[in-house]
Amino acid sequence: MEINSKIEKAKKGDQIAFTFLLDFYWNEVYGFMLKRTENETTAEDITIETFSKAFDKIASYNPEFQFNTWLIAIAKNVYIDLLRKKKTNLFIEITDTEDQQAYNIADTTPSAEDALIKEQNLSRLLQCIKELKPHYQEVIQLRYFQEMTYQEIALKIDEPLSNVKVKLLRAKKLLAEIIERNR
């Protein structure tokens, strides 16, 4: 079967096989997450994270199970992690005294130090982005600085949606490696 040969090629690092698997299973994983999240952006982000994790761990894939079942299991785990993060951020106990102290703070604008730190972090991030190849820089810029959807990016750069998804997946992975290397 063609899928099994693509999985084997992907295990050996074949980028064309990765792209094929992403295209072939994208709608299934995305549709699964869209039903659960009821939010297109969240479903897209979870789906991208799912494929990123799957491709990182493809060597551990057990062919006794269906590949799509494995992907859905990863997607569920990514979603559960997301829910846990949201839950811990939402339910922080605040005492009346802390609440009053927060209310009494007159000036919530960032201090000069806060502004400088933010500016330096952004400057470092932009330096890291400049280390990427130009086509990766472009998709990062369009997605995260201009906040375009995947579809809008595909139209802007005149490439198929699947190419945009793969480019963003690779760009994020490479950017994370550059950031880690520059720490």
pTM of the model: 0.56
> Looking at residues 95-108, what average pLDDT do you find?
50
CB 182 within 8 A of CB 128: yes
Of the pLDDT bands very low, low, confident and very high (cuts 50, 70, 90), residue 113 is: low
- 95 vs 5, residue with greater confidence: 5
> Looking at residues 40-48, what average pLDDT do you find?
88
Dist CA 20 CA 51 (whole Å): 12
Tens of pLDDT, residues 142-181: 888 888 888 899 999 998 888 888 888 888 888 888 888 8
Domains of the chain in start order, with CATH, are: 1-97 (1.10.1740.10), 111-182 (1.10.10.10)
Helices and strands counted in the chain (H then E)? 9, 0
